[in-house]
Amino acid sequence: MGKLLNTAMTAYDLAWRAAVPLLGGNKRLKHGLGQRTLEDGLPAKADLWIQGASGGESYLTWEVLRRLENPLKDRSLNVLATTNTKQGMEILERAAEDINSSKRGIALQTHYFPFDAPSIMRRALAHAAPRVALILETEIWPGFLRACKEQGTKIVLANGRMNTRSLAGYLAAKGLFRELAPDLVLAMSDRDAMRFATLFGRDRVQTMPNIKFDRMGASAAMSRKDNPLKDTIAPRTDFVVFGSVRKEEEQDVERLVADLHRSMPKAVIGLFPRHMERIDRWKELLDQNGLPWTLRSEQTGTAAPGVTILWDTFGEMIPAYALCRTAFVGGSLASLGGQNFLEPLTCGVVPVVGPSWHNFSWVGEEIFQSGLVRQGQNREEVLAMLLEQLKNPPARRDVVAKVRTYIRKRQGGAKTVCKHIAHLVIND
Protein backbone atom coordinates (compact mmCIF):
# COMPACT_ATOMS: atom_id res chain seq x y z
CA MET A 1 0.00 0.00 0.00
CA GLY A 2 2.96 2.34 0.60
CA LYS A 3 3.85 2.25 -3.09
CA LEU A 4 0.24 2.93 -4.05
CA LEU A 5 0.12 5.88 -1.65
CA ASN A 6 3.33 7.31 -3.13
CA THR A 7 1.90 7.01 -6.64
CA ALA A 8 -1.37 8.63 -5.59
CA MET A 9 0.41 11.51 -3.84
CA THR A 10 2.63 12.12 -6.88
CA ALA A 11 -0.44 12.39 -9.10
CA TYR A 12 -2.14 14.61 -6.51
CA ASP A 13 0.88 16.92 -6.42
CA LEU A 14 0.94 17.20 -10.23
CA ALA A 15 -2.75 18.12 -10.22
CA TRP A 16 -2.11 20.86 -7.66
CA ARG A 17 0.85 22.22 -9.62
CA ALA A 18 -1.37 22.55 -12.68
CA ALA A 19 -4.14 24.20 -10.65
CA VAL A 20 -2.16 26.70 -8.54
CA PRO A 21 -1.46 29.21 -11.39
CA LEU A 22 -5.21 29.34 -12.05
CA LEU A 23 -6.23 29.78 -8.42
CA GLY A 24 -4.72 33.24 -8.17
CA GLY A 25 -7.73 34.56 -10.08
CA ASN A 26 -10.21 33.16 -7.59
CA LYS A 27 -11.81 35.96 -5.56
CA ARG A 28 -11.79 33.97 -2.34
CA LEU A 29 -8.28 32.58 -2.69
CA LYS A 30 -6.54 35.80 -3.73
CA HIS A 31 -6.48 36.91 -0.10
CA GLY A 32 -3.25 35.58 1.39
CA LEU A 33 -2.23 33.96 -1.90
CA GLY A 34 1.47 34.39 -1.12
CA GLN A 35 1.01 32.56 2.20
CA ARG A 36 -1.00 29.79 0.54
CA THR A 37 1.84 29.19 -1.95
CA LEU A 38 4.60 29.95 0.64
CA GLU A 39 5.98 32.63 -1.69
CA ASP A 40 5.59 35.17 1.14
CA GLY A 41 7.56 33.01 3.54
CA LEU A 42 7.13 29.97 5.71
CA PRO A 43 5.19 29.82 8.97
CA ALA A 44 7.39 30.09 12.05
CA LYS A 45 8.29 27.17 14.28
CA ALA A 46 5.33 25.83 16.28
CA ASP A 47 4.65 23.22 18.91
CA LEU A 48 0.99 23.06 17.92
CA TRP A 49 -0.64 23.68 14.52
CA ILE A 50 -4.43 24.25 14.57
CA GLN A 51 -6.37 24.22 11.30
CA GLY A 52 -9.97 25.42 10.94
CA ALA A 53 -11.51 25.84 7.51
CA SER A 54 -13.33 29.17 7.85
CA GLY A 55 -15.04 31.53 10.28
CA GLY A 56 -16.95 29.00 12.35
CA GLU A 57 -13.93 26.76 12.85
CA SER A 58 -11.73 29.78 13.62
CA TYR A 59 -14.04 30.61 16.51
CA LEU A 60 -13.55 27.04 17.71
CA THR A 61 -9.77 27.55 17.49
CA TRP A 62 -10.15 30.63 19.68
CA GLU A 63 -12.30 28.72 22.16
CA VAL A 64 -9.72 25.94 22.50
CA LEU A 65 -6.91 28.45 22.98
CA ARG A 66 -8.85 30.27 25.70
CA ARG A 67 -8.88 27.07 27.73
CA LEU A 68 -5.46 25.72 26.80
CA GLU A 69 -2.79 25.82 29.50
CA ASN A 70 0.85 25.69 28.51
CA PRO A 71 2.09 22.17 29.30
CA LEU A 72 5.72 23.19 28.75
CA LYS A 73 7.52 24.23 31.92
CA ASP A 74 10.54 25.98 30.49
CA ARG A 75 9.18 28.19 27.71
CA SER A 76 6.13 29.46 25.86
CA LEU A 77 3.95 27.12 23.83
CA ASN A 78 4.20 28.27 20.21
CA VAL A 79 0.93 27.85 18.32
CA LEU A 80 0.29 28.24 14.59
CA ALA A 81 -3.38 28.81 13.67
CA THR A 82 -4.39 28.54 10.02
CA THR A 83 -7.57 28.95 8.02
CA ASN A 84 -8.72 28.92 4.40
CA THR A 85 -10.83 32.09 4.26
CA LYS A 86 -10.55 35.84 4.76
CA GLN A 87 -13.31 35.77 7.36
CA GLY A 88 -11.50 33.02 9.22
CA MET A 89 -8.28 35.02 9.17
CA GLU A 90 -10.00 38.12 10.58
CA ILE A 91 -11.24 36.01 13.49
CA LEU A 92 -7.82 34.43 14.05
CA GLU A 93 -6.16 37.86 14.10
CA ARG A 94 -8.57 38.95 16.85
CA ALA A 95 -7.84 35.71 18.67
CA ALA A 96 -4.10 36.41 18.42
CA GLU A 97 -4.56 39.82 20.05
CA ASP A 98 -6.52 38.19 22.85
CA ILE A 99 -4.23 35.23 23.45
CA ASN A 100 -0.92 37.04 23.05
CA SER A 101 -1.96 39.77 25.49
CA SER A 102 -3.16 37.30 28.13
CA LYS A 103 0.36 36.42 29.31
CA ARG A 104 -0.50 32.75 29.77
CA GLY A 105 2.65 31.41 28.15
CA ILE A 106 1.06 30.85 24.75
CA ALA A 107 2.40 32.61 21.65
CA LEU A 108 -0.03 32.56 18.72
CA GLN A 109 0.84 33.27 15.10
CA THR A 110 -1.64 33.18 12.19
CA HIS A 111 -1.17 32.07 8.59
CA TYR A 112 -3.38 31.11 5.68
CA PHE A 113 -3.54 27.34 5.24
CA PRO A 114 -1.11 26.43 2.44
CA PHE A 115 -2.41 24.84 -0.72
CA ASP A 116 -2.53 21.09 -0.17
CA ALA A 117 0.02 20.19 -2.84
CA PRO A 118 2.27 17.61 -1.14
CA SER A 119 5.39 19.52 -2.20
CA ILE A 120 4.04 22.72 -0.59
CA MET A 121 2.83 21.00 2.57
CA ARG A 122 6.10 19.11 2.97
CA ARG A 123 8.01 22.43 3.06
CA ALA A 124 5.54 24.01 5.48
CA LEU A 125 5.55 21.07 7.91
CA ALA A 126 9.32 20.64 7.76
CA HIS A 127 9.82 24.28 8.72
CA ALA A 128 7.07 24.64 11.33
CA ALA A 129 7.85 21.16 12.74
CA PRO A 130 4.84 20.98 15.09
CA ARG A 131 4.64 18.25 17.69
CA VAL A 132 0.86 18.10 17.32
CA ALA A 133 -1.58 19.10 14.57
CA LEU A 134 -5.17 19.78 15.63
CA ILE A 135 -7.76 19.66 12.84
CA LEU A 136 -11.16 21.11 13.74
CA GLU A 137 -14.21 19.44 12.25
CA THR A 138 -13.65 17.37 9.11
CA GLU A 139 -10.59 18.69 7.28
CA ILE A 140 -9.17 15.65 5.51
CA TRP A 141 -6.41 17.14 3.37
CA PRO A 142 -4.19 14.32 2.01
CA GLY A 143 -1.13 16.51 1.45
CA PHE A 144 -1.27 17.90 4.97
CA LEU A 145 -1.85 14.50 6.58
CA ARG A 146 0.98 12.91 4.60
CA ALA A 147 3.40 15.70 5.51
CA CYS A 148 2.44 15.32 9.19
CA LYS A 149 3.16 11.61 9.00
CA GLU A 150 6.56 12.24 7.40
CA GLN A 151 7.41 14.88 10.01
CA GLY A 152 6.34 12.67 12.92
CA THR A 153 3.61 15.11 13.93
CA LYS A 154 0.76 13.62 15.96
CA ILE A 155 -2.63 14.38 14.37
CA VAL A 156 -5.84 15.00 16.31
CA LEU A 157 -9.14 15.55 14.48
CA ALA A 158 -11.59 17.14 16.95
CA ASN A 159 -15.25 18.16 16.81
CA GLY A 160 -15.34 15.63 14.01
CA ARG A 161 -18.45 15.10 11.96
CA MET A 162 -19.06 12.99 8.89
CA ASN A 163 -22.26 12.30 6.97
CA THR A 164 -23.00 9.15 5.02
CA ARG A 165 -22.36 10.78 1.65
CA SER A 166 -18.86 11.92 2.67
CA LEU A 167 -18.10 8.51 4.12
CA ALA A 168 -19.08 6.82 0.86
CA GLY A 169 -16.69 9.08 -1.03
CA TYR A 170 -13.77 8.40 1.30
CA LEU A 171 -14.42 4.65 1.28
CA ALA A 172 -13.71 4.62 -2.45
CA ALA A 173 -10.06 4.97 -1.40
CA LYS A 174 -10.28 3.41 2.05
CA GLY A 175 -6.80 1.88 2.00
CA LEU A 176 -5.17 5.23 1.20
CA PHE A 177 -7.06 7.07 3.92
CA ARG A 178 -6.22 4.36 6.46
CA GLU A 179 -2.54 5.12 5.86
CA LEU A 180 -3.22 8.84 6.36
CA ALA A 181 -5.45 8.34 9.42
CA PRO A 182 -5.20 10.81 12.32
CA ASP A 183 -3.75 9.40 15.52
CA LEU A 184 -6.92 10.39 17.37
CA VAL A 185 -10.42 11.28 16.17
CA LEU A 186 -12.77 12.99 18.63
CA ALA A 187 -16.22 12.79 17.07
CA MET A 188 -19.27 14.88 18.00
CA SER A 189 -21.72 11.98 18.24
CA ASP A 190 -21.89 8.19 18.30
CA ARG A 191 -23.07 8.21 14.68
CA ASP A 192 -20.13 10.34 13.60
CA ALA A 193 -17.78 8.11 15.60
CA MET A 194 -19.12 5.01 13.84
CA ARG A 195 -18.47 6.57 10.42
CA PHE A 196 -14.95 7.64 11.33
CA ALA A 197 -14.28 4.17 12.74
CA THR A 198 -15.40 2.63 9.44
CA LEU A 199 -12.87 4.77 7.59
CA PHE A 200 -9.94 4.98 10.00
CA GLY A 201 -10.40 2.04 12.38
CA ARG A 202 -12.23 1.79 15.70
CA ASP A 203 -9.16 1.93 17.93
CA ARG A 204 -8.41 5.60 17.25
CA VAL A 205 -11.94 7.05 17.55
CA GLN A 206 -13.64 8.52 20.65
CA THR A 207 -16.58 10.88 21.21
CA MET A 208 -16.53 14.35 22.78
CA PRO A 209 -18.91 17.22 23.63
CA ASN A 210 -19.29 19.76 20.84
CA ILE A 211 -17.03 22.80 21.33
CA LYS A 212 -19.83 24.98 19.94
CA PHE A 213 -21.66 24.56 23.24
CA ASP A 214 -18.63 26.07 25.01
CA ARG A 215 -18.87 29.12 22.77
CA MET A 216 -22.56 29.50 23.52
CA GLY A 217 -21.87 29.56 27.23
CA ALA A 218 -20.66 33.15 26.99
CA SER A 219 -23.89 34.34 25.34
CA ALA A 220 -26.14 36.70 27.25
CA ALA A 221 -29.56 38.07 26.35
CA MET A 222 -29.47 41.68 25.15
CA SER A 223 -31.44 44.11 27.33
CA ARG A 224 -33.82 46.57 25.69
CA LYS A 225 -31.92 49.61 26.94
CA ASP A 226 -28.77 48.36 25.18
CA ASN A 227 -30.56 47.33 21.98
CA PRO A 228 -29.75 49.52 18.94
CA LEU A 229 -33.29 48.88 17.60
CA LYS A 230 -35.14 50.03 20.72
CA ASP A 231 -36.37 53.19 18.94
CA THR A 232 -37.41 51.25 15.82
CA ILE A 233 -39.61 48.63 17.52
CA ALA A 234 -41.94 50.08 20.16
CA PRO A 235 -42.46 48.23 23.46
CA ARG A 236 -45.23 45.58 23.43
CA THR A 237 -45.23 45.49 19.62
CA ASP A 238 -46.31 42.21 18.05
CA PHE A 239 -42.96 41.92 16.30
CA VAL A 240 -42.13 38.79 14.29
CA VAL A 241 -38.75 38.04 12.76
CA PHE A 242 -38.27 35.88 9.67
CA GLY A 243 -34.55 35.21 9.87
CA SER A 244 -32.11 33.98 7.21
CA VAL A 245 -34.77 33.26 4.58
CA ARG A 246 -33.35 31.35 1.63
CA LYS A 247 -34.25 31.70 -2.05
CA GLU A 248 -35.54 28.12 -2.31
CA GLU A 249 -38.25 28.71 0.32
CA GLU A 250 -39.39 32.17 -0.75
CA GLN A 251 -42.74 30.98 -2.11
CA ASP A 252 -43.65 29.37 1.22
CA VAL A 253 -42.39 32.31 3.28
CA GLU A 254 -44.25 34.77 1.05
CA ARG A 255 -47.51 32.99 1.86
CA LEU A 256 -46.55 32.76 5.52
CA VAL A 257 -46.01 36.51 5.71
CA ALA A 258 -49.28 37.22 3.89
CA ASP A 259 -51.28 34.82 6.07
CA LEU A 260 -49.73 36.16 9.27
CA HIS A 261 -50.53 39.72 8.19
CA ARG A 262 -54.15 38.78 7.56
CA SER A 263 -54.43 37.09 10.95
CA MET A 264 -52.55 39.82 12.88
CA PRO A 265 -52.86 42.98 10.75
CA LYS A 266 -51.03 45.17 13.29
CA ALA A 267 -48.03 42.88 13.63
CA VAL A 268 -44.67 44.26 12.50
CA ILE A 269 -42.61 41.79 10.48
CA GLY A 270 -38.83 41.91 10.18
CA LEU A 271 -37.79 39.99 7.08
CA PHE A 272 -34.11 39.06 6.78
CA PRO A 273 -33.18 37.42 3.45
CA ARG A 274 -30.11 35.22 3.81
CA HIS A 275 -28.59 36.94 0.77
CA MET A 276 -28.96 40.65 0.13
CA GLU A 277 -29.41 40.23 -3.62
CA ARG A 278 -32.91 38.86 -2.87
CA ILE A 279 -34.13 42.21 -1.50
CA ASP A 280 -35.49 43.39 -4.88
CA ARG A 281 -37.36 40.13 -5.36
CA TRP A 282 -38.94 40.53 -1.94
CA LYS A 283 -40.11 44.03 -2.86
CA GLU A 284 -41.97 42.48 -5.80
CA LEU A 285 -43.46 39.67 -3.69
CA LEU A 286 -44.75 42.05 -1.01
CA ASP A 287 -46.21 44.39 -3.64
CA GLN A 288 -47.97 41.48 -5.31
CA ASN A 289 -49.63 40.66 -1.98
CA GLY A 290 -50.57 44.28 -1.31
CA LEU A 291 -48.49 44.35 1.87
CA PRO A 292 -46.95 47.61 3.14
CA TRP A 293 -43.18 47.48 3.45
CA THR A 294 -40.17 49.66 4.05
CA LEU A 295 -36.44 49.13 3.76
CA ARG A 296 -34.54 49.05 7.03
CA SER A 297 -32.05 51.52 5.56
CA GLU A 298 -34.91 53.99 5.03
CA GLN A 299 -36.79 53.35 8.27
CA THR A 300 -36.91 56.42 10.50
CA GLY A 301 -38.57 56.49 13.88
CA THR A 302 -40.84 53.77 15.21
CA ALA A 303 -42.14 51.17 12.76
CA ALA A 304 -45.80 51.60 11.90
CA PRO A 305 -48.22 48.80 12.86
CA GLY A 306 -48.67 46.27 10.06
CA VAL A 307 -45.49 47.13 8.16
CA THR A 308 -42.94 44.61 6.91
CA ILE A 309 -39.37 45.83 7.32
CA LEU A 310 -37.09 44.45 4.63
CA TRP A 311 -33.72 44.24 6.33
CA ASP A 312 -31.15 45.50 3.84
CA THR A 313 -28.50 46.27 6.47
CA PHE A 314 -26.01 43.89 8.09
CA GLY A 315 -25.46 43.01 11.71
CA GLU A 316 -28.91 43.61 13.19
CA MET A 317 -30.55 40.19 13.26
CA ILE A 318 -29.52 39.45 16.86
CA PRO A 319 -30.88 42.79 18.13
CA ALA A 320 -34.09 42.07 16.20
CA TYR A 321 -34.40 38.64 17.81
CA ALA A 322 -33.92 40.30 21.19
CA LEU A 323 -37.04 42.44 20.62
CA CYS A 324 -39.38 40.04 18.82
CA ARG A 325 -42.18 37.99 20.36
CA THR A 326 -41.64 35.05 18.03
CA ALA A 327 -39.38 34.11 15.13
CA PHE A 328 -39.18 31.79 12.15
CA VAL A 329 -35.67 30.68 11.20
CA GLY A 330 -35.19 29.98 7.50
CA GLY A 331 -33.39 27.39 5.46
CA SER A 332 -35.86 24.94 6.98
CA LEU A 333 -38.97 24.96 4.77
CA ALA A 334 -36.87 23.75 1.83
CA SER A 335 -34.44 20.85 2.09
CA LEU A 336 -31.48 23.07 2.98
CA GLY A 337 -30.57 21.85 6.47
CA GLY A 338 -31.66 24.97 8.33
CA GLN A 339 -30.03 28.18 9.52
CA ASN A 340 -28.94 29.06 13.06
CA PHE A 341 -31.95 28.67 15.37
CA LEU A 342 -29.70 29.03 18.42
CA GLU A 343 -29.43 32.80 17.91
CA PRO A 344 -33.04 33.61 18.85
CA LEU A 345 -32.87 31.04 21.66
CA THR A 346 -30.01 32.85 23.39
CA CYS A 347 -32.15 36.01 23.13
CA GLY A 348 -34.95 34.33 25.08
CA VAL A 349 -37.16 33.57 22.07
CA VAL A 350 -38.45 30.09 21.24
CA PRO A 351 -37.87 29.83 17.46
CA VAL A 352 -40.09 28.02 14.96
CA VAL A 353 -38.46 26.04 12.16
CA GLY A 354 -39.61 23.89 9.28
CA PRO A 355 -38.85 20.19 8.77
CA SER A 356 -35.24 20.60 7.55
CA TRP A 357 -32.62 21.17 10.27
CA HIS A 358 -29.86 18.60 9.73
CA ASN A 359 -27.13 21.29 9.64
CA PHE A 360 -27.75 21.63 13.38
CA SER A 361 -28.30 17.99 14.26
CA TRP A 362 -25.33 18.29 16.63
CA VAL A 363 -27.57 20.26 18.99
CA GLY A 364 -29.61 17.13 19.67
CA GLU A 365 -33.26 16.22 19.17
CA GLU A 366 -33.85 16.88 22.87
CA ILE A 367 -34.02 20.57 22.08
CA PHE A 368 -37.38 19.97 20.38
CA GLN A 369 -38.59 17.60 23.08
CA SER A 370 -37.81 20.23 25.71
CA GLY A 371 -39.91 22.82 23.88
CA LEU A 372 -36.98 25.17 23.36
CA VAL A 373 -37.41 24.95 19.58
CA ARG A 374 -40.70 24.24 17.80
CA GLN A 375 -40.84 22.43 14.49
CA GLY A 376 -43.62 22.56 11.92
CA GLN A 377 -43.71 19.92 9.20
CA ASN A 378 -45.16 22.37 6.66
CA ARG A 379 -46.07 26.00 6.15
CA GLU A 380 -49.48 25.67 7.81
CA GLU A 381 -48.02 24.20 10.99
CA VAL A 382 -45.32 26.88 11.13
CA LEU A 383 -47.97 29.60 10.82
CA ALA A 384 -50.08 28.11 13.62
CA MET A 385 -47.05 28.01 15.93
CA LEU A 386 -46.06 31.60 15.15
CA LEU A 387 -49.60 32.87 15.82
CA GLU A 388 -49.78 30.90 19.06
CA GLN A 389 -46.52 32.39 20.32
CA LEU A 390 -47.51 35.90 19.23
CA LYS A 391 -50.55 35.66 21.44
CA ASN A 392 -48.84 33.90 24.33
CA PRO A 393 -45.03 34.13 24.13
CA PRO A 394 -42.97 32.30 26.77
CA ALA A 395 -41.26 34.55 29.30
CA ARG A 396 -37.79 35.49 28.07
CA ARG A 397 -36.10 34.90 31.40
CA ASP A 398 -37.57 31.39 31.59
CA VAL A 399 -36.37 30.57 28.07
CA VAL A 400 -32.88 31.90 28.79
CA ALA A 401 -32.68 29.87 32.00
CA LYS A 402 -33.71 26.65 30.21
CA VAL A 403 -31.24 27.34 27.39
CA ARG A 404 -28.38 27.85 29.83
CA THR A 405 -29.21 24.57 31.56
CA TYR A 406 -29.39 22.75 28.22
CA ILE A 407 -26.04 24.19 27.13
CA ARG A 408 -24.27 23.65 30.44
CA LYS A 409 -25.01 19.93 30.39
CA ARG A 410 -23.35 19.67 26.98
CA GLN A 411 -20.22 21.76 27.54
CA GLY A 412 -16.67 20.55 28.05
CA GLY A 413 -15.56 19.89 24.48
CA ALA A 414 -12.75 22.45 24.50
CA LYS A 415 -11.47 21.12 27.82
CA THR A 416 -11.43 17.58 26.42
CA VAL A 417 -9.41 18.69 23.39
CA CYS A 418 -6.96 20.63 25.55
CA LYS A 419 -6.34 17.57 27.72
CA HIS A 420 -5.38 15.48 24.70
CA ILE A 421 -3.21 18.25 23.21
CA ALA A 422 -1.28 18.71 26.45
CA HIS A 423 -0.66 14.97 26.76
CA LEU A 424 0.64 14.69 23.19
CA VAL A 425 2.81 17.83 23.39
CA ILE A 426 4.70 16.70 26.49
CA ASN A 427 4.90 13.05 25.40
CA ASP A 428 6.15 13.72 21.87
Are 189 and 266 members of one domain? no
pLDDT for the residue numbered 411? 94
> H/E/C letters for each residue in the chain?
CHHHHHHHHHHHHHHHHHHHHHHCCCCCCCCCHHHHHCCCCCCCCCCEEEECCCHHHHHHHHHHHHHCCCCCCCCCEEEEEEECCHHHHHHHHHHHHHHHCCCCCEEEEEEECCCCCHHHHHHHHHHHCCCEEEEECCCCCHHHHHHHHHHCCEEEEEEECCCHHHHHHHHCCHHHHHHCCCCEEEECCHHHHHHHHHHHCHHHEEECCCHHHHHHCCCCCCCHHHCCCCCCCCCCCCEEEEEEECHHHHHHHHHHHHHHHHHCCCCEEEEEECCHHHHHHHHHHHHHCCCCEEEHHHCCCCCCCCCEEECCCCCCHHHHHHHCCEEEECCCCCCCCCCCCHHHHHCCCCEEECCCCHHHHHHCCHHHHCCCCEECCCHHHHHHHHHHHHHCCCCHHHHHHHHHHHHHCCCCHHHHHHHHHHHHHHCC
What confidence tier does 216 reach under pLDDT thresholds 50, 70, 90? confident
Q: Which pLDDT score is estimated for 73?
A: 86
**11 within some domain:** no
The CATH code of the domain that includes 253 is 3.40.50.2000
12-63 pLDDT, tens digit each: 999 999 999 999 888 889 899 999 999 999 998 999 999 999 988 999 999 9
pLDDT at 1 over 80: no
Instruction: Report the pLDDT value the prediction gives residue 75, as an integer from 0 to 100.
Output: 94
Q: In the chain, how many domains are there? A: 2
Which of the pair, 200 or 361, is modelled with greater confidence? 200
Residue 4 lies in a domain: no
Residue 419 and residue 392 share a domain:
no
Same domain, 243 and 302: yes
Q: Is residue 159 domain-shared with residue 266, that is, in the same domain? A: no
The predicted pLDDT at position 427 comes to: 84
Same domain, 76 and 190: yes
Residue 219 has pLDDT above 80, yes or no: no
Does residue 101 belong to any structural domain of this protein? yes
pLDDT band for position 139 (50/70/90)? confident
Same domain, 420 and 329: no
- CATH number of domain containing 31: 3.40.50.11720
Q: What is the mean pLDDT of the chain?
A: 94
The string of pLDDT tens digits covering residues 297-352 is 999 999 999 999 999 998 899 999 999 999 999 999 999 999 999 999 999 999 99
- Domain holding 148, by residue range, is 21-217+412-426
Determine, yes or no, domain membership for 257.
yes
Give this prediction's pTM: 0.82
- Is residue 381, in this structure, part of any structural domain at all? yes
